[in-house]
Amino acid sequence: MQFNAAQIALLINGKIEGDETVSVSSFGKIENAQKGQLAFLANPKYEEYLYTTHASVIIINDRLEIKQKIDATLIRVPDAYSAFATILAGYQKMITEQMAGIQQPVFIAATAKMGNNIFIGAFSYVGENAIIGDNVKIFPQVFIGDNVVVDANSILYPGVRIYHECKAGKNVIIHANTVIGSDGFGFAPQTDGTFKKVPQIGNVIIEDNVEIGANATIDRATLGSTLIKTGAKLDNLIQIAHNVEVGINTVIAAQVGISGSAKIGNNVMIGGQAGIAGHLQIADGSKINAQSGVSKSIKTPNTAVTGSPAYDYTSALRSQVLNRTLPNMEKRIVELEQLVQQLLAEKISH
């Protein structure tokens, strides 16, 4: 597919500098883009490539001052990164919209309800009373259990498994091999040292505009629902336990583990490999640094924490500075102790 600079600028409401008729047919990183490709510059660290790239069209920020001659056509926007994301989203949408029909072999239960303009890839399974909304794209080898709802415009990539009774809202994207609705980790200790399984009879509800990465696992609730609220973004390899709630527009990086019944607020940011203990409350706007271990609730909104156990981010940075100075501090203390002993000895001698 080919687009000229004028069409791209119209899509992202940008201002053109250069030849508006120049066309592009693919995308490239600014450091190695070639003629006929569209690139963008958002990070100042890459500004040097603006003057050496072979890209035909480049999206840049409004405030960027050009220091050398540039052969490419420029499109200025308030936020180059967001504008480029808009273009990529539109491009991806055009590709997925071309996917339609039901490949063979598949199994679709007679009681399942199929929307319009859907795509179901080969070797997929759709269970009894499942509801698949309009424009849903289901890639090969996806399992959709009984009474599952996948609402309009959602995409399930290869190998996704959604267990019975779970629900995914509109415009949900779930990447390959993620499991939604597996049993929560519930076992009751017995007097003889064994563990009795606690049946997990709840479900998982994923609200609209959520994206979940590859190989993530979201456990069904013991009772009620594990809830991923509107606009949340989850990275790859995340474990979310039973009855957890993840708030609106919260983002969670890879390898995070959230224990059962934890309640994560809205607009929270959680760095990679962080762990959150069960039954905690994480206030809106909290920022949890990578590899932090959160063992107590965060009750004040917009708090930043780090470390294991996690505590106030600013205090933690001060502690790290002090830790680096400990050898010198020890040396000074020893010298002071020697001086005190010397002064005491002199006083006694007099």
Give me the active site residues, please: 242
How many other C-beta atoms are found inside a 10 Å radius of the C-beta of residue 308? 12
C-alpha distances out from residue 330 to 203, 293, 319, Å: 57, 30, 16
Find the angle CA(94)-CA(96)-CA(98) to the nearest 5 degrees. 75
Q: Are strands 23-24 and 3-4 parallel, antiparallel or unpaired?
A: antiparallel
Tell how strand 107-108 and strand 125-126 pair up.
parallel
Q: How far apart are CA 5 and CA 19, in angstroms?
A: 8
Per the structure block, which two tokens stand in for 94? 């055009």
Give the three-state DSSP class for 110: coil
Contact 161, 179 (CB under 8 A): yes
Q: Would you report the helix, strand and coil content of the chain in percent, each value rounded to 5?
A: 20, 30, 50
| Residues 280, 299 contacting (CB under 8 angstroms) | no
CA distance 297 to 301: 11
b/e burial code for range 258-292 (CB count within 10 A of at least 16 → b): bbbbbbbbbbbebbbebbbbeebebbbbbbbbebb
* Residues paired with 266 in a beta bridge: none
- Amino acid occupying residue 323: N
DSSP 137-160: EE-TT-EE-TT-EE-TT-EE-TT-
| CA–CA distance, 265 with 43 (Å, rounded to integer) | 30
* Residue 297: burial class (beta carbons within 10 Å; 0-12, 13-18, 19+): middle
